[in-house]
C-alpha cells in the first residue's frame, strides 16, 4: 500500500452506491455476490453497476471471478487490511495514548478476536 493506492481505495468507497456495495460484500463473505444481483440490490442499471464494480476492483477492495455467464464479486479482505493499516500507520508515533483504545474498540465490536478487556 502507498499513498496513491490509498487515495484510489478511499475514492472508491467515497460514493453512496459503491459504499453500499462494499458493505454488502463485507457482509456476504468470501463467496460474494453476482454482478446482476448487486445491480438489483442497489436499483441501478447494469452499466452503472459495472462502472462502480470496476472502480472498486481497480482500487483493490473487491475481486471478481467468472463462472459461466455469471460474474462473482467479493470483498478483498487483504486489500481492506492494507488500507486500514496504512491509515493508522505510526499512530501517535508508537505511543498508544489514543491508538490502542481506538483499535481494540474496533476489534471488540466483533466476536471471537480476544483483545478485549
Partner DNA sequence: ATGATATTTTCATGTTTATGGAAATATGCG
Partner DNA sequence: CGCATATTTCCATAAACATGAAAATATCAT
Residue ranges binding a second copy (CB under 8 A): 3-4, 6-7, 10-11, 13-16, 19-20, 22-23, 26-27, 29-30, 75, 77-78, 80-81, 84-85, 87-107, 109-115
63 contacts which partner out of a second copy, DNA, none, CB within 5 to 8 A by kind?
Answer: none
Q: Which of 99, 106, 100 is nearest to 81 (CA)?
A: 106
Query: Site mask, DNA, residues 44-83, x = CB under 7 A?
Result: xxxxxxxxxxxx--------x-x-xxxx------------
Least Å distance, CB 58 to DNA, is 10
Binding residues vs DNA (CB under 7 A): 11, 14-18, 34-36, 39, 44-55, 64, 66, 68-71
Amino acid at each position: 500500500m502507498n499513498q496513491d493506492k490509498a487515495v484510489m481505495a478511499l475514492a472508491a468507497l467515497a460514493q453512496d452506491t459503491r459504499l453500499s456495495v462494499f458493505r454488502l460484500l463485507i457482509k456476504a463473505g468470501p463467496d460474494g455476490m453476482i454482478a446482476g444481483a448487486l445491480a438489483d440490490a442497489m436499483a441501478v442499471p447494469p452499466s452503472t453497476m459495472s462502472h462502480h464494480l470496476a472502480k472498486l476492483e481497480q482500487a483493490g477492495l473487491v475481486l471478481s471471478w467468472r463462472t459461466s455467464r455469471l460474474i462473482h464479486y467479493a470483498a478483498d479482505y487483504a486489500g481492506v487490511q492494507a488500507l486500514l493499516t496504512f491509515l493508522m500507520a505510526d499512530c501517535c508515533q508508537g505511543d498508544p495514548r489514543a491508538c490502542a483504545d481506538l483499535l481494540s474498540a474496533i476489534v471488540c465490536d466483533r466476536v471471537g478476536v480476544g483483545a478485549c478487556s
